[in-house]
Structure 1
Amino acid sequence: MSFEDEWAAEKAAVAMRLNKADSTGSSTPAKGSGDYVVEDDDLGAIGHAAHGLFNGLQSAGKHADAASETAGTSLKGDGFDTGAALSEVNGTWETQVKTLLQACAHISNHLNYTKKSNQAEDDWIAAQLRIIGPVAPGRDGAVPASQIDKFFR
């Protein structure tokens, strides 16, 4: 079998899997379906947890820093190799805490941005559909659901 034949077979298999991703027939995506759905509440909860971890880790992750550094320096001054090792472990710990703090801040900030960006995009789409749609008496100018499909073909 040639590379092109193999590649075509793989693409066809992937396309078939993607087409069957949501075979429930429902317009509402089911949990575990192929549709990507994230609720604002989910984003908020994850962002809040990341922010809480950041706040707790900022103080709790550094509570032994001064004592460990003092002990390492004292042991090193008395000629013990464990003093240098303790200072090295303390430095590594500090680096790891800073990295985790940065990761938590990044997650929290990114989720806040994503939530605001998605809302802005939804608002823009709604405004565009109101502009496009014919205004019938008693309607606010929004395109009826039966007409939306024609804009995506």
Structure 2
Amino acid sequence: MAWNEWNELKSAPAPRADLIAHQDDLGAVGHEAYVLHGALLRHADVAARDHSARTAAALRRYHFAMGAALETTAGVWTSQLRSLLQACAHISNHLDHTKAAHARDDAKIRTAIRGVAAPEVPVSRLSAYFK
């Protein structure tokens, strides 16, 4: 890259990447996290459902090396599954809380701008905020 190209790039305005999340988007992401959490609970806990711990213990009792390997695999699977379930629950709960908090904030702002008696905010009152 030549020096003049570098100077041109430095003087060019940087592209903006604003993060915008709408209430509906937050709700959809939170719902998908909730659905994934439920599906994982029903279908992914194969280590417990297949009684891997008992099977591993039986294999170890008969001196099969596979028993220890199965026990390790089931332990890692269960640990990873719990972490994923916690993450899904955290995302779902956080987005539900965020959505509710924004709704409360919006209601507070509307009430503060409207005042107690006025159904709508007159233009003269709005202009006071932009001085």
Fold agreement, TM-score > 0.5: yes
Mapped contact 1:68–1:86 kept (Cα < 8 A): yes
Distance in structure 1 (CA, Å) of the matches to 2:127 and 2:54: 69
Please report the RMSD computed on the Cα atoms of aligned residues, expressed in angstroms: 2.5
Give percent identity, aligned residues only: 34
Question: CA 1:127 to 1:78, structure 2 compared with 1: closer, same or farther past 3 Å?
Answer: same
1:141 has 2:125 as partner: no
Mapped contact 2:34–2:92 kept (Cα < 8 A): yes
In the TM superposition, structure 1's runs of 4+ consecutive aligned residues that sit over 3 Å from their partners are: 146-150
Which is richer in helix? 2
Tell me the amino acid that sits aligned with residue 104 of structure 2.
A
| Larger RCO: 1 or 2 (CA < 8 Å, sep 6+) | 2
Q: Deviations over 1:50-88 (max 9, x none)?
A: 001111111212134243222211111111122011101
* 1:152 Cα deviation from its structure 2 partner: 4.6
Q: Deviations over 1:106-147 (max 9, x none)?
A: 100000000000011111111111129x95xxxx23244x86
Instruction: Structure 1 unaligned segments of length 5 or more: list them.
Output: 1-12, 22-32
Query: Aligned pair count?
Result: 119
Please report the TM-score for the alignment, with normalisation by the length of structure 1.
0.67
Please report the TM-score for the alignment, with normalisation by the length of structure 2.
0.77
Instruction: Structure 2 unaligned segments of length 5 or more: list them.
Output: 1-9
Tell me the amino acid that sits aligned with residue 83 of structure 1.
G
Correspondence for 1:99 among 58, 83, 90: 83
Question: CA 1:113 to 1:142, structure 2 compared with 1: closer, same or farther past 3 Å?
Answer: same
1:131 has 2:115 as partner: yes
Q: Which residue of structure 1 aligns with residue 6 of structure 2?
A: none
